[in-house]
Amino acid sequence: MKKILKSFIKHYQELNQNTSVVFDENLVGFLKKAKHLLLDEAMRPSLELKEALNRLKMRAEEPMKVAIVGQFSSGKSTFLNALLAQKILPTGITPVTSKVNYIRYADEIKIRIRYKDGRDEYRDISSINRFTDQRGEVEDIAYLTLYAPLEMLKDIVFVDTPGLNSQVQTDTQTTKTVLQEVDGIIWLSLMDNAGKLSEVEALKDYLGAYQNKSLCVLNQKDRFTDEQIESAMHYVKGALGEFFSDIVAISASQALESRSHDKMQLAKSQTKSFLKQLEEKMGLSPEKVDDALLCEAIYEHKQKMKDILQQDLSENIRLLELSNISKVLTFINDEIRPRAMSAKEFAITKETKHIAQMISSQHELLMSIYDELLVCLDDFQKEAQSGFYYLQEHFSKQLKNAFFEIETIIEVIAQEIFKQIKTFQRIRYSEQKKGLLKSKKSYMPIAYEAPKIESDSIYKVLFYDDNLIGKMFKQYVKNLNTIQDEVNHKNREIYQKLEEKVRQWQIPYENIRKNEAIYSDLEFANMRKFASKVYENILKPFNDETLDSYAKVSSHFNHLSSAVSFNYQNATEVCVAFLENKIEKSVQLYEQNPTKFSLYSPKIEEIKDRLRTNFHLYELENMMNSRTTFLHKDYDRLIEKFKTIYAQKQQFVKEQQERHRNIIAQITDFNS
């Protein structure tokens, strides 16, 4: 059973590893792929990034936008009503449309008022005049959206803009901003007012860059003869042709009159009215609906539909043809729509790749921050290694010099001992030979000079009155402490150089904030956390080793000071006693047999050698004057420890970089 379970788990894991998401080769698929990559949990995406990609998705899915632009009283609202085949927008002789009106598809007619503070308010269509007429209080309104259940609006969003010569200067600026966002522009002008200098100047300011997606529509052609229309068209093409793909003459009022009486439109309106009436009759209790009343309502609906379908619409058809509105619809379908699709795909693809590149730049920025830290570590490692080698050589010389200072002290002691070796007259008795007449032994006193050490004088000079050696050893220990302090100070300075470098690196990054809205809040929070904990992350092991070295060096120097200065008086006295004993033995031997034994008098080098032995100088030499001194070994250890820690911390920082490097590679692959 266990084998079967393990086999199943392994098979599942292999399937999971080999599974890759496949996306359609279109704009929607491209956006899904972008979201799959950039919004993955591992990317730690920001809310702003999610919103930016969602906006692009909405742009990809939303219909194309066509702006209706023109000077006031050019009949924009009537023209839009004609395109929509319903009298929805208010009309008037004053600049009525004071806000941008977006006209979109929905299942029912309603308006949404977006206020400048972000609030939304939904109202019935009957109140639209209150929010569009700039004679009213509309300062707090940002824009309006009119929703209507019209088939055309499933593919097109119309944007009704304020007039360019509106009474409010901000209206024209609003219109200029809108033109940058739309896919097509229909410039509406009155037949007898088109091509004037004011209009040419306005077009230069607002439509100069949109010639390939703009149509000029001359309204109210129904008020002029064919000759007048032809003359006006010829004039306008010469005056305004550079701004438009085409110029057409229409009658918005004729188009609205004919389209609003179209059989299909009337039938749809009647059906919707019937369904609404039926819904009201049924209410919340369908079982209580009177069957007779229901049958009566259905009968009335059938009769109205029959009347609509039997109407003679020849006049409407004639008006529709005269209105020339079909050329506007053809331009929208044949010119604006293909360009809009292509432009939308290009723009959204470009924007998506730009967003991806920005996220890549974010990770490149974070990588560069870690790179700066690596440079700090690299520079420090080189400086520390050369610094420790220099200090190793420098303090080894100082320790060697300290060793020779002991020799100097021994020299002083030896000279004083040697100076206090005096000669004193002593008497020895020599046995005389027996004569013929002498029966007993006889001895003859013989005076001779024998050496003697004035030990009291030595101790008095060296240790008591002047305390010469005590002072020398006190200064000597002080010198050793100075070397010890300098060693620890210099070692600390090397660590402090690293700390200074890393702290300088830390200052700007422990408070770093993202400089682009879509950047990851979490990524920058993690960088702040990493920088704020740089001591624990980077410095602590170096500091620990420096402190450990401090303890070891101090211990060794304390041991050395004790070994050198401990009981130096006793060592001197032992040396003197040894020499005195040797002198005394030589005297005894000499007196026994002067011809065979000579008197012993210590030489200066012999005194020094004996002092070296008593002071354990040969053991101290290993500690202070060799290539294996404790100081030399400690620097070797420090160099190796710092090298190891450096390698570990270098690897640690590179590991922090690795996920950023992988993300950059993924984004590069996505953008390629």
- The percent helix, strand, coil of the chain (3-state, each to 5) is 65, 10, 20
Q: Can you tell me the mean pLDDT for 439-447?
A: 77
Q: How far apart are CA 428 and CA 590, in angstroms?
A: 9
State the CB neighbour count (10 A cutoff) for residue 205.
11
171 — pLDDT class (breaks 50, 70, 90): low
- pLDDT, tens digit (0-9, with 9 covering 90-100), for 297-325: 676 766 666 655 555 566 677 888 888 88
Residue 407 has pLDDT above 60, yes or no: yes
Q: What are phi and psi of 319, to 5 degrees?
A: -60, -40
Determine the pLDDT at residue 292: 66
Question: Which residues are bridge partners to 146 per DSSP?
Answer: 103, 111
Mean pLDDT of the chain: 83
Determine the pLDDT at residue 6: 53
- pLDDT, tens digit (0-9, with 9 covering 90-100), for 591-650: 888 888 899 999 999 999 999 888 888 888 888 888 888 999 999 999 999 999 999 999
Determine the pLDDT at residue 506: 95
Determine the pLDDT at residue 32: 92
Determine the pLDDT at residue 183: 84
Q: How far apart are CA 130 and CA 206, in angstroms?
A: 28
Reduced 3-state DSSP string for 404-467: HHHHHHHHHHHHHHHHCEEEEEEEEEEEECCCCCCCCCEEEEEEEEEEEECHHHHHHHHHHCCC
Q: How far apart are CA 288 and CA 266, in angstroms?
A: 31
Q: Is 581 exposed, middle or buried (0-12, 13-18, 19+ CB in 10 A)?
A: exposed
Nearest in space to 217 (alpha carbons), one of 339, 334, 67, 64? 67
| Interior/surface letters 223-242, b for 16+ CB within 10 angstroms, e for the rest | ebeeeebeebbeebeebbee
More confident residue, 161 or 529: 529
Own/partner pairs, 135-140, CB within 8 angstroms, 24+ separation: 135/94, 138/98, 138/99, 140/115, 140/116
DSSP per-residue letters across 100-118: -EEEEE-SS-EEEEEETTS
Sign of CA dihedral 382, 385, 386, 387: positive
Residue 97 has pLDDT above 60, yes or no: no
Range in 160-164, 248-252, 363-367, 489-493 the model is least confident about: 160-164
Determine the pLDDT at residue 8: 47
Tokens of 268: 């749809």
Residue 165 has pLDDT above 50, yes or no: yes
Residue 179 has pLDDT above 70, yes or no: yes
Determine the pLDDT at residue 12: 44
- CA–CA distance from 445 to each of 70, 442, 590, 592, 595 (Å)? 152, 10, 14, 13, 16
15 — pLDDT class (breaks 50, 70, 90): very low
Determine the pLDDT at residue 279: 65
Q: Is 465 exposed, middle or buried (0-12, 13-18, 19+ CB in 10 A)?
A: exposed
Residue 11 has pLDDT above 50, yes or no: no
Nearest in space to 402 (alpha carbons), one of 550, 560, 558? 560
- pLDDT, tens digit (0-9, with 9 covering 90-100), for 187-244: 888 888 777 776 777 777 777 677 778 898 999 888 898 898 888 888 888 888 888 8
| CB neighbour list of residue 331: distance below 8 Å, 6 or more residues apart | 215, 245, 246, 248
Determine the pLDDT at residue 341: 82
Query: Residue 509 in contact with residue 516, Cβ under 8 Å?
Result: no
State the CB neighbour count (10 A cutoff) for residue 206.
18
531 — pLDDT class (breaks 50, 70, 90): very high
- pLDDT, tens digit (0-9, with 9 covering 90-100), for 268-300: 665 666 666 666 666 545 555 566 666 766 767
Residue 454 has pLDDT above 70, yes or no: yes
Query: Residue 217 in contact with residue 251, Cβ under 8 Å?
Result: no
258 — pLDDT class (breaks 50, 70, 90): confident
18 — pLDDT class (breaks 50, 70, 90): very low
359 — pLDDT class (breaks 50, 70, 90): very high
Sign of CA dihedral 323, 324, 330, 332: negative
Q: How far apart are CA 170 and CA 225, in angstroms?
A: 38
Question: Which residues are bridge partners to 147 per DSSP?
Answer: 104, 110
Q: Is 383 exposed, middle or buried (0-12, 13-18, 19+ CB in 10 A)?
A: middle
Range in 228-237, 355-364, 365-374 the model is least confident about: 228-237
Q: Can you tell me the mean pLDDT for 450-476?
A: 88
Question: Which residues are bridge partners to 447 per DSSP?
Answer: 427
Determine the pLDDT at residue 494: 95
176 — pLDDT class (breaks 50, 70, 90): confident
Determine the pLDDT at residue 491: 95
State the CB neighbour count (10 A cutoff) for residue 143.
17
142 — pLDDT class (breaks 50, 70, 90): confident
Range in 18-27, 501-510, 558-567 the model is least confident about: 18-27
